[in-house]
Amino acid sequence: MQKIIACDDEDLLKEMEIFLQEVKVSVHEPNEAYKVDGQKSLLSNEQLEEIERRWKAYKSGEEKAIPWEDARKEIQDKYGF
């Protein structure tokens, strides 16, 4: 699991996602039966595509990221949160 978390190979991660979505999960305990449904994204396809576009732009250097502390300060300064 730690290797998956540390992986930054987008193609490999997509293949793993597809594979895991196809896996039928079952749990077996004496005298118990469970049904586990695959997890669906709460985001729309458009939202997922936008996230993917932004991620690629960030990885290619087209877009820059700022540290969370800086973003938080900007929000506090602008909106008073």
66-76 residue pLDDT tens: 999 999 999 99
Residues paired with 28 in a beta bridge: 33
pLDDT above 90 (res 42): no
Between 26 and 81, name the one with better pLDDT. 81
In 3D, which of 34, 47, 1, 43 has the Cα closest to residue 20?
1
Dist. CA 54–CA 49, nearest whole Å: 9
pTM: 0.42
Q: Is 80 exceeded by the pLDDT of residue 32?
A: no
Q: What 3-state class would DSSP assign to 8?
A: coil
80 versus 3: which is more confidently predicted? Answer: 80
pLDDT band at residue 26 under the 50/70/90 scheme: low
